[in-house]
């Protein structure tokens, strides 16, 4: 039988050359299994794109091991799936962190009780939002703020609706918190000069979680406070309460008139004078008809006499026909208020006699 140079009969097919070992299959040199795309790699990428960061890294790691063993294509897809899963994990951590921060901040404000003292966060005093977690402190030690109460926002029937926006909440706070702090400290003379009403309003995210109240507090602009500022109906005695409620509108309005007298708009001054007539007339009735302790009666009689002399002048000022005449008559009315008589009443009732003086011990 004829044999070729290879030692095989014709038609037996290729064979390994004589003297060479058989060549094993190499996926890099053939078009075999390497042409297949790894399904695990594709799945890893898909889960990475849609946020399945739990499955994506598992599938991606399995795909890399399988590709190394079989030579399938898709290594880049598996790596991309791993990267995307890492990105989603970071995003989730940030969202959870912010959510917990906002929730804790809102919970801190809701958990505050009227009369608690606290330190304000380090951010600017003008920020209407709570910039951080609230730390309560003993009122007997240095602190810069004191919780006074809350103001609700709604239609009075419990319907608050959608988030009204920061501007609307701040406007509501300006009106409501002044009333809250006014009732928290019935005697404004007892407040240090740099203590003012402030507030925090809820953010949109806090509103959606059910935090619909505006937090009202008193805050010191400069020196810390080391005492409680509270001086409401639960703190003062009955005589002090009646007197402070009787005088506060008249005192507040006469102070407003004094502020407008120099350079205030004439229309605002005229309106304030008219309100002063009504408020001081009501004060005169309350002071004259209320029974007072014997030690306070002489000073009360002098105070009533001052009001009797000032009220006709206030009424005359309210009817002034020109701005100059208005201001002149206001000055005449102011001269009828004798500060020493008011201070004598305060001392007799054991109330503050100077700005920032706390309520004397009973």
Q: Which helix (H) or strand (E) covers residue 43, if one does?
A: helix 39-49
Please name which of 280, 113, 99, 297 lies closest in space to residue 203, comparing C-alpha atoms: 99
Which residues, in sequence order, are CB contacts of 56 under 8 Å at separation 6+? Answer: 44, 45, 47, 48, 81, 82, 84, 85, 88
Please name which of 201, 211, 231, 214 lies closest in space to residue 150, comparing C-alpha atoms: 214
pLDDT at residue number 70: 76
pLDDT at residue number 101: 38
pLDDT at residue number 158: 61
Beta bridge partners of 219: 145, 196
Coil, helix or strand at residue 130: coil
Long-range contacts of 62-70, Cβ-Cβ distance < 8 Å, separation of 24 or more: 63/38, 66/38, 66/40, 67/38, 67/41, 70/27, 70/33, 70/36
pLDDT at residue number 193: 93
Residue with tokens 């899963």: 85
Burial of 215 (0-12, 13-18, 19+ CB in 10 A): buried
pLDDT at residue number 63: 65
Q: What global pTM score does this model have? A: 0.67
> How many C-alpha atoms does 170 have within 13 Å on its Cβ side?
9
Buried b (16+ CB within 10 A) or exposed e, 258-272: eebbeebeeeebbeb
pLDDT at residue number 2: 38
Please list the ranges in the chain whose pLDDT falls under 50. 1-34, 93-107, 124
Report how far residue 303's alpha carbon sits from residue 306's, in angstroms, rounded to the nearest whole number.
5
Radius of gyration of the chain (CA): 40
pLDDT at residue number 143: 92
Report how far residue 165's alpha carbon sits from residue 203's, in angstroms, rounded to the nearest whole number.
8
Token readout for 71 is: 């030579």
Which residues, in sequence order, are CB contacts of 31 under 8 Å at separation 6+? Answer: none
pLDDT at residue number 27: 42
Cβ atoms 329, 276 nearer than 8 A: no
Cβ atoms < 10 Å from Cβ of 141: 11
pLDDT at residue number 281: 96
Q: Which helix (H) or strand (E) covers residue 110, if one does?
A: helix 75-111
pLDDT at residue number 110: 59
Residue with tokens 């910039």: 131
């Amino acid at each position: 039988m004829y044999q070729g140079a290879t030692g095989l009969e014709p038609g037996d097919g290729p064979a390994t050359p004589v003297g060479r070992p058989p060549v094993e299959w190499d996926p890099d040199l053939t078009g075999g299994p390497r042409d297949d795309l790894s399904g695990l790699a594709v799945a890893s990428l898909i889960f990475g794109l849609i946020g399945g960061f739990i499955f994506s890294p598992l599938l991606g790691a399995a795909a890399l091991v399988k590709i190394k063993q079989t030579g399938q294509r898709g290594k880049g897809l598996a790596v991309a799936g791993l990267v995307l899963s890492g990105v989603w994990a970071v995003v989730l951590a940030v969202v959870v962190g912010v959510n917990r921060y906002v929730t804790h901040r809102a919970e801190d404000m809701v958990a505050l009780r009227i009369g608690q003292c606290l330190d304000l966060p380090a951010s600017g005093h003008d920020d209407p939002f709570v910039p951080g977690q609230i730390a309560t402190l003993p009122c007997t030690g240095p602190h810069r703020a004191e919780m006074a109460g809350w103001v609700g926002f709604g239609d009075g029937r419990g319907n608050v609706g959608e988030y009204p926006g920061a501007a609307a909440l701040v406007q509501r706070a300006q009106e409501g918190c002044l009333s809250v702090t006014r009732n928290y400290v019935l005697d404004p003379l007892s407040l240090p000069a740099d203590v003012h009403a402030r507030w925090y309003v809820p953010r949109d995210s806090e509103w959606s979680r059910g935090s619909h109240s505006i937090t009202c507090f008193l805050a010191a602009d400069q020196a810390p406070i080391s005492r409680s500022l509270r001086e409401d109906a639960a703190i003062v005695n009955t005589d002090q309460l009646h007197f402070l409620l009787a005088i506060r509108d008249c005192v507040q309005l006469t102070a407003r008139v004094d502020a407008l007298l120099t350079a205030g708009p004439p229309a605002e001054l005229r309106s304030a004078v008219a309100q002063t007539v009504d408020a001081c007339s009501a004060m005169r009735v309350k002071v004259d008809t209320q029974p007072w302790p014997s030690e306070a009666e002489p000073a009360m009689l002098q105070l009533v006499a001052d009001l009797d002399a000032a009220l006709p002048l206030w009424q005359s000022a309210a009817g002034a026909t020109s701005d100059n005449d208005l201001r002149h008559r206001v000055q005449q009315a102011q001269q009828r208020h004798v500060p020493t008589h008011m201070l004598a009443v305060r001392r007799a009732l054991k109330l503050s006699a100077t700005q920032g003086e706390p309520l004397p011990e009973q």
